[in-house]
Copies of this chain bind each other. A is one copy, B any other.
Amino acid sequence: MKLYSVILCGGRGERFWPGSRRSLPKQFVTLFGKRSLLQATSDRVRSLCPPDRQLFVAGAEFGPVLKKQLPVASRNLVFEPFGRNTAPAIGLAAIRLAQRDKNAVMAVLPADHLVEDRKAFLACLRFAARLAEKGLLVTFGIPPTRPDTGYGYVQSGARVASSGRLAGFEVKGFREKPDAATARKYLKSGDYYWNSGMFVWRVDAILAAFRAHMPAFYADLERYGAAIGTRREGRELARLYDRAESISIDYAVMEKARNIAVVRATFDWDDVGSWLALDRHMPKDRQGNVVGQRGLASDSGSCIVQTDAGIVAVLGCSNLVVVRSGDAVLVAHKDKLGGIKGLLAEIGRNKDMGRFL
C-alpha cells in the first residue's frame, strides 16, 4: 500500500479578506511563520508522502503559484474548471489516482488547515491509513474544546480499533452545525467530534462509494477517466463539471455510506476560519493584542493588528481586527466578522471597488 495525499486548494478564503484575495486565497498566503498554509500542509505529510505522492486539486489559475510555492510535477496538479465543493474535487482526484495506482490509499487534506503537532498528526494519519486499508472510509474527528456552532459534528459509536492513545470508532451519525445549547450538549457528552474535512480511504473504496451514492456523477467520472490522456480529456472534464452537483463529500457520500469510521485526532487542529485564528496562534501583548510587525496598539485591548506594508496604528480601541494587506484595509469588530461575506458582496456591487476583492 502506498499513501498519497490529495491536498484540496479550492477554498476562497473570503473570511481572510483582505489578506486573502480571489487572486490569492488564504491557503497561498503566509499567515503564520514563514510558510504559507499550503506549504505547511505539504511539509507536514512529506515524511509519509514524498512530493511525487502529493496531488493538488485547484483551479488552473493557481497553477503558477502552486509551482512557485512547491516542487510539484505537472502530473500531480489536478485542475478543476471551476469550484464545485469537495465531492467533485475528490472524485476527480480519485479517478486520476486510480489510473496511476489502483491500490492507492489517499488522504484528503484541505490546504488551509493549521496543525502544529506534526508528530501526533502523522501518527494519526498512519493509524487511519491502516483502517482505510480494510476498506473503511475514515474521517478525522477533532475533540471539541468549546461549544462551537460553526462546525458540523460527528457522533461516534463503538470503538473499532485502538493503539495507545489512538482510537477509531464507528460513526453513529453526522450532525449539522448545531445551535448553542446543542453544541454545549455535544461538548459535554464526549461522543461528538468536529468534522474536520480530512479523510483517508482506499481509492477503490471511495470510487465504489461514488458509484453507490452519486451514480450519475460516477458514470460521468468513468467516462472522463476513459478520456484521460486522449484528445477528449478537456472536453470530458468540462462536461463532468458542467453536470456535477456542487456538494460536499460529507453530504454526498459520508452521510450515506455504511463502511465509515472516525479516528479521534490527538493533534491540535485549526481550520483558520477567520482572522480570529490569530488570537489562537500568535503571541499577545499584556492587553491581549496580537500586533504584527509595524503595527501599534496604544491604549487598546484585544485587538488584532496586521500590516504587510507601511504602518498601522490603533488608538483607544477594543476588540477590533485591523488588517492592511496590499491596497486594502479592513477594520472590523471581532463580534461582527461573521458579516464579512456581506461586506465583500457590497464591495463587489460597487464598480469602483470590485477589483479589490
Q: Which residues of A contact B (CB under 8 A)?
A: 18, 293-294, 296, 298-299, 307, 309-317, 320, 322, 324, 326-333, 335-337, 339-340, 342-343, 346-347, 350, 352-353, 356
Contact = CB atoms under 8 A, between A and B. Distances in A.
A312 B329 contact: yes
Contact of A294 (B322, B336, B337, B353): B353
B342 A314 contact: no
Given A294-B352, A296-B353, A310-B356, A315 B328 contact: no
A339 B298 contact: yes
Given A314-B331, A331-B331, A342 B307 contact: no
B298 A310 contact: no
Copies of this chain held together in the complex: 2
A315 B330 contact: yes
A253 B353 CA distance: 54
A328 B296 CA distance: 11
Contacts of A346: 296, 298
11 contacts: A18-B311, A298-B343, A311-B327, A312-B331, A313-B347, A315-B330, A315-B339, A316-B336, A316-B337, A317-B332, A317-B333
A169 B339 CA distance: 58
